[in-house]
Amino acid sequence: MIKKIAAAGGDPLRWSRKMLNLYWVLFGIGIVAQFAYMWTEPDPLAYMYGLLAPTALFWLIGLSLMELLLRLFHRGGDYIMISGMAYYSFILMVFHYQTVVVVTTCFLPLLVSMFYLRRSKVIFSYALALASYAAMFLIRGYQLPYLAPKHIFIVASSLTVAAYIIDAFMSRSAELERDLRQTLESKQELMIQNTLMDKLAKTDALTGLYNHMTFHEYLDRLIEQSETGQLSLHIALLDIDNFKKTNDTYGHRAGDIVLKRVAETISQSAGAHDFAARYGGEEFAVIFTEKSLDEVVLLLENMRKRIESIHHSELDNYVATVSIGLHAYGRGMGKEKLFGGADEALYEAKRTGKNKLVVCEQPGGAMKRNA
């Protein structure tokens, strides 16, 4: 059953405007057709003044009135269009009553109602069609020897059947629309669930950064690009200093707060083309791309200072610091040497006082320390 669904085209006023434009086209076609037919009559002038001119005048008056009403009553455009078609049919039947086939034009309002996809419009057009047919019979009935009671019954029955079929068609259309909408909603929900699951599989639940597995997958792809192209690549390992002592003193819940804030600072400080991950426990890893070594060092130093400036009120204004090891990738180096160099630099930062950045020139070789 049709209850309430959107009108055709999603904009009733725009659709009504299109319908009215079509009516003007039908007006032109009707006038041209009558003018052509006029020359087949024994007395063309009598046909012109007796049928063509009155029909054209009344149609023109009706179309002009519809234009005015549509501009004044935007929300009633659907009823105006259905009424206008009923008027068009009525004028045609009244002036061309001698042509039997003209009676079929009373079905036109029903066809117009289909475009608005509402049962109320179908009922309204059905009532208008019956009223137009009855009015035509009252006006011209005595001049229609072929209009026997059985003809009246056939036309009325046909209008009823047509209205029922149109209503059934719209009901089926509503069901299809509802099924399509439910299918689309189900697909959207599934897509959202898949996206969420994919995110959960790739990110750390506590910090929101990428997890250990995703970090290595991304690093493998970037190393391949660095080997085949000119992509600059640096990896930094960051470790929160004395984090075990923090957990033992303030509890694991407080430790989680520190982890979240450090992770947020790392994420905010990293560039749009960089990749930050929680590597494990209190250790984080950041992959930097499309930056020089000096740019990466400056960015990491700012990151370290921002972390050091945070006072954690939940931990009696405790200040967390991080030690950082940095290593640049060289062609042919491979992931193990790249990661090993960053790990050596991190160990050197821890060993020499913590809260500092150490740059590894080569694994097992010289270290460049930043205070």
Active site amino acids: 282
Q: How far apart are CA 231 and CA 225, in angstroms?
A: 7
Q: Phi and psi dihedrals of 160, rounded to 5?
A: -65, -45
Q: How far apart are CA 228 and CA 231, in angstroms?
A: 8
Q: What tokens appear for 115 in the block?
A: 């475009």
CA 174 to each of CA 10, 177, 334: distance values in angstroms, whole numbers, following the listed order: 14, 5, 61
DSSP three-state, residue 35:
helix
Q: Phi and psi dihedrals of 355, rounded to 5?
A: 50, 50
- Please, are residues 86 and 23 in contact by the beta-carbon 8 Å criterion? no
- Please, are residues 325 and 342 in contact by the beta-carbon 8 Å criterion? yes
| H or E element, residue 277 | strand 275-280
